[in-house]
Chains A and B, each alone.
Chain A
Amino acid sequence: MASAAIRPSLGAFGRISSAAAATTAPRSLVSTTQTASLSTTTSLLKRHKYPGARDNKDYSKHRGESAIRRTGTRWRLSMSDEPLPKPVPREQLPPIETDPDHGLWEFFANRKTVANAPEEDAKYGRSWSVEELRHKSWDDLHRLWWVCVKERNRIATANWERNKSKLGFGEAEALARDREVRATMRAIKHALTERFYTWEDAVKLAENDPEVNLTGDGPAFTPRDYLEEGEATAAEGEQQQQVAEAAEAAEETAVKAQPAPPVTPDPAMIPASQPQAEAPRL
């Protein structure tokens, strides 16, 4: 009913006009100028406003509403009697396809579980010592740092899942593991800082070294003393053997610290074209 939506007084006008039109059907043929007995336009219905007049507002928000006559509310309700769709059971849904190589998988220890069991978490070794890292190259330390970052991310993800899903014990193991990773990261920073400070001191030392040319023109290093031809080749073979052995030993353990270099090695002992297997830094 359209007139129920507008104000009841206007609805009353509509009823009057429709009733008048129904009863006086023959007369409407005579007078064609006026179809409604009353004007229903709002502009004409509006009362003349004089200064100080009451406003024409309807202050009763629930006018016309009645529970007995089941009028309902004056505003339109957002309900409908359409049948709701039923959810499909989880078993009938197609499997969710995921990218097996997605990078986010690396936030988990494995793909089956969200968090490692405490027994699994407790299986870890000791942290790297600074002395072991002193012999690693910059690239190795850089990559080891990111391996540590990823491990910490994994631990943090498991912690978050453990809290969220209330999985129970395992926090102590995760924290202990995390502490060991952070010890490794601290050792990396220690080794790199130490290396940088030593390099700074060595540059100062090289400024007064007649063998070293720091200007950038010409070779940076001009050795002063040479060995004889026969001596050099003998020393070269010996040195190559030593380096090969050292490289093998380093690959076997991957953590074995190489022996500390001699304090003043003879520069001529190592030939010019000698490729360093894994350049052990200071």
Chain B
Amino acid sequence: MQPTRVLQALRYRRLRLTTKDVNKGFYKGTRTGSMGRHTKHGGYIIDWNKVRTYVCPSLEGFKLTPFVTRNMPRTFGRYETKLGPKDPEMYLARWKAENGLD
């Protein structure tokens, strides 16, 4: 988010926005999202549908590594249209060429 124009000017320009720079009700957060909700008594109820789960696929027999050998120079694609790899016509043509099942 961005602070208001007043705060962007002058002395606040090079300082990060903290909860003390603005009125109450400002929640800075940690960009992580909530995992439940607060109760009116001060407790917290975890909503398990909001709790993050990470699915790691089976890596059995997977040979790729995060690195590519330096013996191979970086490859660059050659595309004939201006949009390049983002050309939807080419995507559709490929889809049709692969028989358009999915």
Residue ranges of A at the interface with B (Cβ–Cβ < 8 Å): 124-129, 131-132, 134, 139-140, 142-144, 146-148, 151, 180-181, 184-185, 194, 197-199, 201-202, 204-206, 209, 211-212, 219-221, 223, 253-257, 260-265, 267, 269-270, 272, 274, 276, 279, 281-282
Contact = CB atoms under 8 A, between A and B. Distances in A.
Nearest to B80: A263
B97 to A, nearest CB: 5
A260 B72 contact: no
Nearest to B89: A205
A140 B64 contact: yes
B66 A265 contact: no
A198 B70 CA distance: 30
6 contacts: A125-B69, A132-B74, A198-B87, A199-B91, A253-B72, A255-B68
Contacts, number: 140
Interface string B14-28: 000000000000000
B44 interface: no
B88 interface: yes
Contacts of B66: 127-128, 144, 147-148, 151, 180-181, 184-185
A257 B69 contact: no
Given A124-B67, A221-B95, 16 more contacts: A125-B68, A126-B67, A127-B66, A127-B67, A134-B85, A146-B57, A198-B87, A202-B92, A202-B95, A205-B92, A220-B100, A221-B101, A260-B78, A263-B87, A276-B98, A282-B94
Contacts of A254: 63-64
B92 A126 contact: no
Contacts of A199: 91
Given A198-B87, A204-B88, A267 B70 contact: no
The 3 closest A-B CB pairs, nearest first, are A221-B100, A201-B88, A125-B67
Contacts of B77: 131, 134, 257, 260
A7 B6 CA distance: 75
B56 A194 contact: no
Contacts of B79: 260
A181 B67 CA distance: 7
